[in-house]
Amino acid sequence: MNQETVKRDRPWLMRTYSGHSSAKASNELYRVNLSKGQTGLSVAFDLPTQTGYDSDHPLARGEVGKVGVPIDHIGDMEALFDQIPLGQMNTSMTINATAPWLLALYVAVAERQGVDPAQLQGTTQNDVLKEYLSRGTYIFPPEPSVRLTTDLIAYTVENIPKWNPTNICSYHLQEAGATPTQELAYALSTAIAILDAVKASGQIPQERFQDVVGRISFFVNAGIRFVEETCKLRAFNRMWDAMAEQRYGVADPKKRRFRYGVQVNSLGLTESQPENNVQRIVLEMLAVTLSKNTRARAIQLPAWNEALGLPRPWDQQWALRMQQVLALETDLLEYGDLLDGSPVIEAKVQELIAGAEAEMARVADQGGMVQAIESGYVKRELVQSHTLRMRNIESGELKIVGVNCFEQTAESPLTAGTDSGIMKVDVQAEHDQIAGLQAFRAARDQQAVDKALMQLQEAAAGGGNIMPSSIECARAGVTTGEWSEVLREVFGEYRAPTGIDISMAGQTDSAAMDAVRAQVRSTGEELGRPLRLLIGKPGLDGHSNGAEQIAVKGRDAGFEIVYEGIRLTPAQIARAAQEEGVHLIGLSVLSGSHLELVEDIHAELEKIGAGAIPLVIGGIIPEDDARKLKAQGVQAVFTPKDVDMNAIMTTMVGVIRSANGLEA
Amino acid sequence: MPANLQPPDPEQLAMAVRGGERAALAAALNLLDDKRPASRSSAIALMTELQTGQAAKNSRLIGITGPPGAGKSSLTAALISVWRQRGLSIGVLAVDPSSPISGGALLGDRLRMKTSSEDDAVFVRSLACRGQFGGLSAEVWPMSLVMLAAFDITLIETVGVGQREIDVADMCDTTCYVAQPGSGDSVQFLKAGILEVPHILVVNKEDMGAVARRTLSELGAAMSREHSEGNWTVPVLSASATNGSGIEALADVMEQHHKVLREQGLIKQRRQHYQGKWILKRLRDEFGSNGLTRLGGTDSILDQLQAHSSTLFEHYEALRQRLL
Ligand code: B12
Ligand SMILES: Nc1nc2c(ncn2[C@@H]2O[C@H](COP(=O)(O)OP(=O)(O)OP(=O)(O)O)[C@@H](O)[C@H]2O)c(=O)[nH]1
Ligand SMILES: [Mg+2]
């Protein structure tokens, strides 16, 4: 048959989640990516931008331009989209607590490019509820956060009709350990919380409410159990359609469609034998493309070196090529739905729906998603699921090739290069960004800034929609930190439940665990009191999985654990360690700022006379850096390949013993 | 050699504790937790040092108790900020449950109490209850001596209480019970006579609205308002740690109760009474009722302790030695 005559579906949007160092460097990267056939942009912001701090704020030290692009003001945003016509671009921004602000900057840049904001297309992630559960870049308490979310939704439905104002995210829940049922239940419960809030805000007339529902899109995960994952998406499809119709009275079936983008699972990507990640990524992509009726709208894939560090342009290109091969070389897009009518698939879908509905009912009984988050319930459920997953990996029940089976490997040429196979962000970038920010501040019209901030304050405190005054702030040259500070003053800040206070039920005890407990107990006896461990998450890093798992395991091993959640300053960690009289500090840092943070914590400990407390660290720590940290006095460094948690506990006991002069 | 291999000198340590030196406070609390024989004798010496100096400082010992999740830690945080505005310094001892299987614990109260990290006038030490002492842990009382010597207010948060864990009321000058809106428990406890003990009742989470108001009125009605100690009418308050409402009033009432106790000279009496009880309890835990009998029985021990009140802890150690 002639190729030309076959009718093929249009492929999904292909994106690469990227951004680093500076707006200028990221802009160059975006333009190269677009020229390689990428069809949309997906912006990664750095952590200060996501948590509302300017690049020169003390908390931003070591984080500027590391895991994304720093955006301090309209000048940065303009540079980010230089020569990229916003009228034709579809831009996805992974931005949450500061979403109204980044959208305001985007609108202001469009104006400067002469583009009518009403034409803009793209997505603001704008789902703060999952930030409390997994992603960690929340700022304000849940109530004002939901209000900001609804303000943005109401504003775009009226003024930027093609914008996707929120991406309800189940992606991050799976990355924090969620099962498919939990992903379904918590994402849909979040959608209910948000839609109910939009309705209650009275900003959208009743007859237009179906436009709101029609603009809601989702961001989901696809794990390695790809058959079940396909079924999960079919379940999503059906449950969302039913909810839109029954709960929100949306008559138009088009406005009830489950529209979603995907990033495939990264939690299961390994540091050991990282080349195997390529197979995993491709199989996971099948889950969200196989079935035509539930195919993803947009896909972004992680790279083979996900667990090693940030991807280089070549690594990202490889990931993009995986999508292109599937869409363009295979015959996937030539057929109707492949799975409709399969009784096996149907049974699994039914099972998932039943499980999700039961869990949604439990959430509703507690008053809804916001309440179930505030009480710690949902977070505990997630930590419990993740603990189970970790135990199954440890016991070998859950097989991970190259990690707990077939560990032997020939040497990999992929990681043999001089750059260790990952991208290194230029250390000069932070310095340059700060200099640029300070020059920008000096040159702007301060009166206009003050006036805009005053209006913002009035809108925040008074309850008017936050968007118009935010856009005015963007035009006037307000900075990210200033915008956020005004809202911090009005709304206050928040610390989310850690979820580690889970029960011991279902615990599988092993001889190895007993041996660890005996070590912990006897060392405690030798030192006169039970061993105490402080687990610290310094800096802006929100990756809490590792810290949570170490905390739960540590408690089970007999440690008394102090863990106060994410985003602490070095000073807070040092003081807590002293006040609590701990035998050991264990840091967890995955954001890449470990060198700066460890240096600061050492200094703080010395300053308060607690320099004798030994320190270990875990996270994404390249080998070179591990060596540097050890030279700085860090006693042990753990990375994702250390999946034997009993061994980690034993090492920690050993560190405590040697710090206290006990023999090994 | 690491500094913590040798117990610190008790006299110097006590002085530094009184001066509010944070490193010394931490070391003193560690020492009182330490079961090694050499540490034990320094700990006894430290407690004696602190005891003799205690009367000088007009410090207050406050207990906060109530069911799990009622908001004890959150209220503590809210109280801390009110007290800080009033210029008072605060030491907190927060007790969390231990795992009966591993002995490990997650010390979670601190998370809610995080105030300012730069404030030297606030010091929080968490403790695992380690399976003992009715909602407290055996170390709480000795540690409270350290806190009392250093801070204007020492606050003790118990683990979420079940029913019989009322030790804190014996130990503290003022005990505040935090009730959870909508839970019938508090009213039940009251009827069973358990809530006779606290000096102050507060229904937290008044921001929850009707359900909090209902609990407030139920408690108000069920409560015999005259405290058994006399001269004190138990106030039933409403507050919200989240909104900060009712916290000033709670702090005021705590201060009033302190005044009443002080005017009647009850503080010293209460604290001395508890010392004896604590020692008895420790002896019983360590040696069983048999041990107490061998020492001549409860009354005789209490008499002996009374007679040795200036060297109380040495005497306690001597009693232990007789049984060891
Ligand atoms: C899961 C995950 C997430 C989840 C986090 C969920 C959560 N609540 O933790 C989500 C989806 C939210 C997320 C978001 C982001 N992520 Co992410 N994420 C990961 C991923 C895939 C796995 C990390 C993980 O949880 N592993 C499971 C746990 C159990 O393992 P672990 O933490 O490594 O811990 C083990 C050891 O390291 C050690 N350990 C760790 N800590 C400690 C502490 C002590 C005391 C001890 C003894 C041991 C120890 O013991 C553990 C047992 O094995 C990694 C890549 C990877 N595969 O490793 C990227 C990764 C860490 N993420 C990355 C980035 C950039 C981000 C973002 C910043 C992106 C952005 N620009 O917005 C965001 C924002 C997050 C934030 N607020 O900081 C980068 C970091 C790059 C770098 N360091 O150079 C990575 C490496 C991916 C990549 N290659 O780009 N992420
Ligand atoms: N709505 C509302 N919630 C509150 C209030 N105070 C505390 N909470 C919430 O109640 C939960 C428990 O609060 P904590 O302060 O940890 O309670 P606790 O009594 O110390 O708990 P345990 O120490 O575990 O027994 C948390 O989710 C708090 O956010 C309040 O005034 N109003
Ligand atoms: Mg508490």
Ligand 1: does its nearest atom lie under 6 Å from the Cβ of A592? yes
> Residue A142 Cα, ligand 3 centroid: separation in angstroms?
21
Ligand 1: does its nearest atom lie under 6 Å from the Cβ of A27? no
CA distances B15 to A415, B4, B39, B42, B51, Å, are: 58, 19, 18, 14, 12
Tokens of A460: 């925040």
Domains A12-331+340-395 and A511-659 equal at CATH topology level: no
Q: What is the mean pLDDT of chain A?
A: 95
Looking at the structure, tell me whether residues B42 and B72 fall in a common domain.
no
Indicate the residue of A527, A559, A661 with minimum beta-carbon distance to B104. Answer: A559
CA distance B70 to B118: 28
Query: What pLDDT score was predicted for residue A557?
Result: 94
Indicate the residue of B103, B114, B118 with minimum beta-carbon distance to A495. Answer: B114
- Give the rounded distance of the alpha carbon of A22 from its chain centre: 20
Ligand 2: does its nearest atom lie under 6 Å from the Cβ of B76? no
Query: Please, what sign has the CA dihedral across residues A461, A462, A466, A471?
Result: negative
Query: Please, what sign has the CA dihedral across residues A169, A172, A176, A179?
Result: positive
Looking at the structure, tell me whether residues B5 and B84 fall in a common domain.
no
Average pLDDT over every residue of B251-259: 96
Q: What is the 3-state secondary structure (H, E, C) of A429-457?
A: HHHHHHHHHHHHHHHCCHHHHHHHHHHHH
Q: Judge whether residue B224 has pLDDT over 80.
A: no
Q: Describe the strand order of the beta sheet including A532-536 as a list of residue ranges.
A: A636-638, A615-619, A584-589, A532-536, A560-563, B105-106
The confidence band for B134, taking pLDDT boundaries of 50, 70 and 90, is: low
Ligand 1: does its nearest atom lie under 6 Å from the Cβ of A403? no
The confidence band for B55, taking pLDDT boundaries of 50, 70 and 90, is: low
For residue B122, the tally of other CB atoms under 10 A from its CB is: 24
For residue A208, the tally of other CB atoms under 10 A from its CB is: 12
Residue of B nearest to A561 (CA): B106
Query: What pLDDT score was predicted for residue B37?
Result: 87
* A578-612 pLDDT tens trace: 999 999 999 999 999 999 999 999 999 999 999 99
* A585 strand-pairing partners: A534, A615
Query: What pLDDT score was predicted for residue B56?
Result: 55
> Residue B261 Cα, ligand 3 centroid: separation in angstroms?
27
Query: What pLDDT score was predicted for residue A508?
Result: 59
- Which DSSP helix (H) or strand (E) runs through A619? strand A615-619
Of the bound ligands, which one is closest to the alpha carbon of residue B247? 2
Which residue of B13, B95, B111 is the best one to mutate when testing the A interface, meaning the one whose CB has the most A CBs within 10 A? B111
Q: Which residues touch A284 (CB under 8 Å, ≥6 apart)?
A: A222, A223, A224, A226, A229, A264, A265
Average pLDDT over every residue of B231-253: 94
Atom of ligand 1 nearest to the CA of A269: 57
Is there a contact between A124 and A166 (Cβ–Cβ < 8 Å)? yes
- Give the rounded distance of the alpha carbon of A76 from its chain centre: 23
Looking at the structure, tell me whether residues B23 and B116 fall in a common domain.
no
Residue A575: its chain B contacts at CB < 8 A? 22, 117
Nearest CA owner, ligand 1 atom 91: A543
Query: What pLDDT score was predicted for residue B313?
Result: 84
Looking at the structure, tell me whether residues B81 and B218 fall in a common domain.
yes
Looking at the structure, tell me whether residues B157 and B239 fall in a common domain.
yes
Query: Which residue type sits at B173?
Result: D
CA distance B4 to A204: 65
Residue that terminates a domain, selected from B214, B235, B263:
B263
* A638 strand-pairing partners: A618
Write down the H helix ranges in A131-170.
Answer: 142-159
Q: Judge whether residue B273 has pLDDT over 50.
A: yes
Is there a contact between A517 and B102 (Cβ–Cβ < 8 Å)? yes
Ligand 1: does its nearest atom lie under 6 Å from the Cβ of A535? yes
Average pLDDT over every residue of B8-25: 93
Residue B104: its chain A contacts at CB < 8 A? 520, 530, 554-561
Atom of ligand 1 nearest to the CA of A175: 1
Query: What pLDDT score was predicted for residue B190?
Result: 66
Which residue of B107, B119, B151, B180 is the best one to mutate when testing the A interface, meaning the one whose CB has the most A CBs within 10 A? B107
The confidence band for B99, taking pLDDT boundaries of 50, 70 and 90, is: confident
Name the nearest CA neighbour of A79 among A31, A26, A24.
A24
- State the CATH class of domain A12-331+340-395: alpha beta
Query: What pLDDT score was predicted for residue A289?
Result: 97
Query: What pLDDT score was predicted for residue B162?
Result: 58
CA distance A308 to A622: 7
Q: What is the mean pLDDT of chain B?
A: 86
Question: Which residues, chain by chain, have CB under 5 Å from ion ligand 3?
Answer: B 72-73, 109
| A481 phi-psi bin (left φ>0, alpha ψ -120 to 50, beta other) | alpha
Structural domain count of chain B: 3
Contact A495 B108 (CB under 8 A): no
At A268, give phi and psi (nearest 5°).
-85, 0
Tokens of B108: 């979670």
Angle between the N-to-C axes of helices B22-33 and B10-18, in degrees from 0 to 180, rounded to the nearest 10: 130
* A467-506 pLDDT tens trace: 999 999 999 999 999 999 999 999 999 999 999 988 654 4
Query: What pLDDT score was predicted for residue B115?
Result: 61
Looking at the structure, tell me whether residues B26 and B143 fall in a common domain.
no
Atom of ligand 1 nearest to the CA of A176: 6
Looking at the structure, tell me whether residues B41 and B84 fall in a common domain.
no
Superfamily of domain A511-659: Cobalamin-binding domain (3.40.50.280)
> Residue A460 Cα, ligand 1 centroid: separation in angstroms?
34
Residue of B nearest to A505 (CA): B101
Residue that terminates a domain, selected from B41, B56, B71:
B56
Ligand 1: does its nearest atom lie under 6 Å from the Cβ of A131? no
| Residue B50 belongs to domain with CATH number | 1.20.5
- Collapse the DSSP code of B225 into the 3-class scheme (helix H, G, I; strand E, B; otherwise coil) and give the result: coil
* A609-623 pLDDT tens trace: 999 999 999 999 999
Domain boundaries, chain A: 12-331+340-395, 511-659
Average pLDDT over every residue of A389-415: 93
Q: Which residues touch A618 (CB under 8 Å, ≥6 apart)?
A: A546, A550, A586, A587, A588, A589, A637, A638, A639, A642, A648
Contact B106 A557 (CB under 8 A): no
Half-sphere exposure of A558 (CA within 13 A, CB side): 24
Ligand 1: does its nearest atom lie under 6 Å from the Cβ of A591? yes
The confidence band for B198, taking pLDDT boundaries of 50, 70 and 90, is: confident
Is there a contact between A412 and A275 (Cβ–Cβ < 8 Å)? yes
Our mutation pick for probing the ligand 2 site, out of A366, A370, A374, A493, counting the most ligand atoms within 8 A of Cβ, is A374
Query: What pLDDT score was predicted for residue A403?
Result: 95
Indicate the residue of B4, B114, B128 with minimum beta-carbon distance to A560. Answer: B128
Tokens of A213: 């529902």
Average pLDDT over every residue of A365-370: 96
Contact A555 B99 (CB under 8 A): yes
* A128-151 pLDDT tens trace: 999 999 999 999 999 999 999 999
Strands, E assignment, A24-143 = 41-43, 90-93, 121-124
Looking at the structure, tell me whether residues B324 and B211 fall in a common domain.
no
Query: What pLDDT score was predicted for residue B191?
Result: 66
Q: Describe the strand order of the beta sheet including A167-169 as a list of residue ranges.
A: A13-15, A298-300, A260-264, A217-222, A167-169
Q: Judge whether residue B1 has pLDDT over 60.
A: no
| B288 phi-psi bin (left φ>0, alpha ψ -120 to 50, beta other) | left
Angle between the N-to-C axes of helices A142-159 and A480-491, in degrees from 0 to 180, rounded to the nearest 10: 130
Q: Judge whether residue A52 has pLDDT over 50.
A: yes
Of the bound ligands, which one is closest to the alpha carbon of residue B66? 2
Residue B35: its chain A contacts at CB < 8 A? 525, 528-529
Ligand 1: does its nearest atom lie under 6 Å from the Cβ of A267? yes
Residue of A nearest to B104 (CA): A558
Nearest CA owner, ligand 2 atom 26: A375
Chains A, B: CB contacts within 8 A come to: 113
Is there a contact between B176 and B63 (Cβ–Cβ < 8 Å)? yes
Show which residues of A are catalytic. 17, 171-172, 537, 541, 543
* A222-273 pLDDT tens trace: 999 999 999 999 999 999 999 999 999 999 999 999 999 999 999 999 999 9
Name the nearest CA neighbour of A615 among A595, A634, A642.
A634
Looking at the structure, tell me whether residues B138 and B283 fall in a common domain.
no
Looking at the structure, tell me whether residues B199 and B67 fall in a common domain.
yes
Ligand 2: does its nearest atom lie under 6 Å from the Cβ of B207? yes
Residue of B nearest to A503 (CA): B99
For residue B137, the tally of other CB atoms under 10 A from its CB is: 24
* A623-660 pLDDT tens trace: 999 999 999 999 999 999 999 999 999 999 999 999 99
Q: Which residues touch B100 (CB under 8 Å, ≥6 apart)?
A: B131
Q: Find tokens 């007679």 and name the residue.
A: B307
Query: What pLDDT score was predicted for residue B253?
Result: 97
Looking at the structure, tell me whether residues B9 and B103 fall in a common domain.
no
At B130, give phi and psi (nearest 5°).
50, 40
Q: Judge whether residue A1 has pLDDT over 90.
A: no
Angle between the N-to-C axes of helices B298-307 and B312-323, in degrees from 0 to 180, rounded to the nearest 10: 140
Domain that holds residue B24: 1-56
* B203-221 pLDDT tens trace: 999 999 999 999 998 888 7
Looking at the structure, tell me whether residues B150 and B246 fall in a common domain.
yes
Higher pLDDT, A117 or B308: A117
At B227, give phi and psi (nearest 5°).
-75, 145
Residues in B whose CB is inside 8 Å of some CB of A read 1-5, 22-23, 25-26, 29-30, 33-36, 39, 69, 98-99, 101-108, 110-112, 114, 117-118, 123-126, 128, 130
Query: What pLDDT score was predicted for residue A543?
Result: 97
* A304-339 pLDDT tens trace: 999 999 999 899 999 999 999 999 999 999 999 999
Write down the H helix ranges in B55-104.
Answer: 72-85
The confidence band for A32, taking pLDDT boundaries of 50, 70 and 90, is: very high
Angle between the N-to-C axes of helices B140-150 and B22-33, in degrees from 0 to 180, rounded to the nearest 10: 160
For residue A660, the tally of other CB atoms under 10 A from its CB is: 17
